Amino acid sequence: MIQPKLNLALLSALALGTAGAQASAPAQKTKKGEPRKPNVVIILADDLGFGDIACNGSFNTIATPNVDRLASQGVQFANAHATASTSTPARYSILTGEYAWRRPGTGIAPGDAAMIVTPEHQTLPEMMQRAGYTTAAVGKWHLGLGDRAGKQDWNGVVTPGLKDIGFDYSYIMAATADRVPCVYIENGKVVGLDLENHPEDSIRVSYDRPFPGEPTGRNNPELLKMHSSHGHDMAIVNGIGRIGYMTGGGKALWVDENIADTITERAVQFIERSVAAQKEAAKTGTEKPFFLYFCTNDVHVPRSPHERFVGKSGMGPRGDAILQFDWSVGRVLEVLDSLGIADNTLVILSSDNGPVVDDGYRDRAVELLGDHKPWGKFRGGKYSIFEAGTRVPAIVRWPKQVPAGRVSDAAASQVDWFASLASLVGQELAEGEAPDSRNHLAVWLGKERKKGRAHVVEHAGTLSITVNDWKYIAPSNGPARNNEVNIELGNSKEPQLYNLAEDMGEKNNLAAQYPERVAELAALLEQVRQNPER
Ligand code: NG6
Ligand code: CA
């Protein structure tokens, strides 16, 4: 029998106060030539599900030795959440410390979207810069570029860009691998474009209409090496249909099979450069720690891993892409080891949202899944308000401060990375900065492993709020499922209430049984809707 435990007064206090584990920057012991503050590396996977890593219980279906190693050397979270079940809003929250649902225009962005995290925002990398860090973003971006949608100068400098929101260095894919433009952009410039010798490679991008004379997935399926199952039938680049149209690019176009190698190497080079600069600066005592926001393209569609991973998982391209993700993680860890900085580097690994099996390409992911459960024991997946939408893998390793080999059950949200890292690096947050981010450093460092956030808010069209394992999903008119991706979205016109402690699969809607609890949680959610969290 489940006993109602909540009352509104308590909930209000939790919502408005700063309840929860707090911690300030731990005292540092440093080796000679090492910055006093730790280097910080965020490795953010794309669409990697809770159950997609072996150490979350999937040992029989997938091998992720590098992720497992990270977990065994740090703390692994059982109840950590992205703020939203798709990429753009989830990433928006990480970089701004604000729930994306407060801001219009933060849904899944096209590749020619204007900046969604704008120079007017106070951002996570800016806060790290303030604390003396050298900062970089490498890999998938998906938060828009330039100040006008569709008006970016892909042949010149795309501006404003990441340097205007706190990244000293950037090497990114504008959106996703399934969206044009299919090129890397380094510090605002497309990499490898040689317009002097090849003016015909000039890049044009449109999300409205095809370019005359250019084949499309819709009209020229004979040119495709990977067919779409839904959508993805506009421009063809490397034999893969994309979302949006583009022409040009020439040698600058990425090769999908090499994306992981390319971006991982750029991440590694940034680390190497930063450490070389630290060594040099140590002579004058001015060494700067680094902050790297490394976003893999894996395991997002189109899944086209390098040939050395092909066929290795037995699950087709999706499983092979997980192996490739694990390789990228291993490569970063190896470099931290070889440079002797692993001890003084805080590594945070997570995913931007939950898993999807068929996300629009016929890559046999569904047929070859076997016993593998990307969503673990949870219901739903990417796009869903059910748990699998936002309950993501999360691991934190920092040998100096984080106890090794622990599992944390504390409720945790990526929105808190901003304030927690601010505390770690000794930065006060200004009024209005990171408005929904709370300092839960003790949770994220695995010191507090039971009590976490007072409540967790999830977003996927509608909103949900979870307090002490009681999850309330606000009624909505959205569809109950997305048949194309075969995922239950969780929308219902009726309120939903689940007890995750007893029913983590969200099967038994207890709303009719506990109307008072529904009312309390609905009121709390309304309060969060009306007021920033901090
Ligand atoms: C959807 C795409 C899907 C994926 C998603 C964004 C279609 C039919 N589906 O609209 O393939 O790109 O957007 O994923 O186009 S995310 O992880 O970047 O949010
Ligand atoms: Ca994603």
Three-class DSSP category at 114: coil
| pLDDT tier at 33, thresholds 50, 70, 90 | low
Q: Do 243 and 300 contact (CB within 8 A), yes or no?
A: no
| Residue 13 pLDDT | 37
Q: Do 404 and 74 contact (CB within 8 A), yes or no?
A: yes
Ligand 1 atom closest to Cα of 361? 11
Q: Do 182 and 193 contact (CB within 8 A), yes or no?
A: no
Ligand 1 proximity of 44 Cβ (cutoff 6 Å) = no
| CA of 69 relative to ligand 1 center, distance in Å | 31
Is 60 exceeded by the pLDDT of residue 25? no
| pLDDT tier at 416, thresholds 50, 70, 90 | very high
Backbone angles phi, psi at 216, to 5 degrees: -130, 160
Specify the residue with its C-alpha closest to ligand 1, atom 13: 108
| Residue 36 pLDDT | 83
Percent of the chain with pLDDT over 70: 93
Is 70 exceeded by the pLDDT of residue 373? yes
Rounded distance, CA 266 to CA 154, Å?
A: 21
Rounded distance, CA 44 to CA 435, Å?
A: 22
Q: Give the pLDDT mean for 208-235.
A: 97
| Lowest mean pLDDT across 10-19, 95-104, 434-443 | 10-19
**25-56: b or e for each residue (b if 16 or more CB lie within 10 Å)?**
bbeeeeeeebbebbbbbbbbbbbbbbbbbbbb
| pLDDT tier at 32, thresholds 50, 70, 90 | low
pTM of the model: 0.95
Mutate to test the pocket of ligand 1, among 359, 482, 489 (most ligand atoms within 8 A of CB): 359
Mutate to test the pocket of ligand 1, among 243, 356, 384, 483 (most ligand atoms within 8 A of CB): 243
| CA of 487 relative to ligand 1 center, distance in Å | 13
| CA of 148 relative to ligand 2 center, distance in Å | 24
Ligand 1 atom closest to Cα of 232? 15
Is 50 exceeded by the pLDDT of residue 28? no
Query: Could you count the other beta carbons within 10 Å of the beta carbon of residue 13?
Result: 11
Token representation of residue 218: 């819709």
Ligand 1 atom closest to Cα of 352? 17
Give the DSSP letter of residue 257: G
Rounded distance, CA 387 to CA 475, Å?
A: 16
Q: Do 253 and 174 contact (CB within 8 A), yes or no?
A: no
Ligand 1 atom closest to Cα of 231? 8
| Residue 495 pLDDT | 98
Q: Do 495 and 522 contact (CB within 8 A), yes or no?
A: yes
pLDDT by residue (tens digit) across 135-185? 999 999 999 999 999 999 999 999 999 999 999 999 999 999 999 999 999
Rounded distance, CA 224 to CA 222, Å?
A: 6
Q: Give the pLDDT mean for 196-208.
A: 97
- By the 10 Å C-beta count (0-12 exposed, 13-18 middle, 19+ buried), 469 is classed as middle
| Residue 30 pLDDT | 56
Ligand 1 proximity of 176 Cβ (cutoff 6 Å) = yes
Is 80 exceeded by the pLDDT of residue 21? no
Percent of the chain with pLDDT over 90: 93
| CA of 45 relative to ligand 2 center, distance in Å | 8
Ligand 1 proximity of 79 Cβ (cutoff 6 Å) = no
| CA of 208 relative to ligand 2 center, distance in Å | 23
Backbone angles phi, psi at 349, to 5 degrees: -115, 135
Is 90 exceeded by the pLDDT of residue 281? yes
Is 80 exceeded by the pLDDT of residue 18? no
Q: Give the pLDDT mean for 267-278.
A: 98
Ligand nearest to the CA of 383: 1
| Residue 78 pLDDT | 98
What is the Cα 153 distance to its own chain's centre? Answer: 27
| CA of 176 relative to ligand 1 center, distance in Å | 8
pLDDT by residue (tens digit) across 37-48? 999 999 999 999
| Residue 255 pLDDT | 98
**187-225: b or e for each residue (b if 16 or more CB lie within 10 Å)?**
bbbbeebebeeeeebebebbbeebeeebbbbeeeeeebe
pLDDT by residue (tens digit) across 296-335? 999 999 999 999 999 999 999 999 999 999 999 999 999 9
Is 50 exceeded by the pLDDT of residue 23? no
Q: Give the pLDDT mean for 419-431.
A: 97
CA distances from 446 to 73, 130, 318, 393, 530 (A): 12, 26, 31, 15, 31
- Of the candidates 233, 520, 467, 194, the one whose C-alpha atom is nearest the C-alpha of residue 361 is 233
- Of the candidates 509, 3, 48, 69, the one whose C-alpha atom is nearest the C-alpha of residue 318 is 48
Rounded distance, CA 292 to CA 280, Å?
A: 20
Three-class DSSP category at 358: coil
pLDDT by residue (tens digit) across 285-306? 999 999 999 999 999 999 999 9
Which residues have CB less than 5 Å away from ligand 2 (the ion)? 46-47, 87, 352-353
Element (H, E) at 135: strand 134-140
Q: Do 188 and 158 contact (CB within 8 A), yes or no?
A: yes
Q: Give the pLDDT mean for 498-518.
A: 98
| Residue 31 pLDDT | 65
Three-class DSSP category at 294: strand
| CA of 427 relative to ligand 2 center, distance in Å | 30
Rounded distance, CA 374 to CA 414, Å?
A: 20
Ligand 1 proximity of 487 Cβ (cutoff 6 Å) = no
Q: Do 253 and 321 contact (CB within 8 A), yes or no?
A: no
Specify the residue with its C-alpha closest to ligand 1, atom 18: 87
Q: Give the pLDDT mean for 331-345.
A: 98
Q: Is the dihedral of CA 501, 502, 507, 512 positive or negative?
A: negative
Is 70 exceeded by the pLDDT of residue 132? yes
Q: Give the pLDDT mean for 245-258.
A: 98
Ligand 1 proximity of 359 Cβ (cutoff 6 Å) = yes
- By the 10 Å C-beta count (0-12 exposed, 13-18 middle, 19+ buried), 244 is classed as buried
Q: Find the Cα–Cα–Cα–Cα dihedral 249, 252, 253, 259, rounded to 10°.
A: -160
| Residue 469 pLDDT | 96
Which amino acid is it at 139? G
Specify the residue with its C-alpha closest to ligand 1, atom 4: 359
| Cβ within 8 Å of residue 9, ≥6 positions away | none
Rounded distance, CA 142 to CA 185, Å?
A: 12
Query: Could you count the other beta carbons within 10 Å of the beta carbon of residue 146?
Result: 21
Is 80 exceeded by the pLDDT of residue 17? no
**112-124: b or e for each residue (b if 16 or more CB lie within 10 Å)?**
bbbbbbeeebbbb
| Residue 2 pLDDT | 40
| Residue 51 pLDDT | 98
| Cβ within 8 Å of residue 494, ≥6 positions away | 475, 509, 511
Q: Give the pLDDT mean for 199-204.
A: 97
| Residue 19 pLDDT | 35
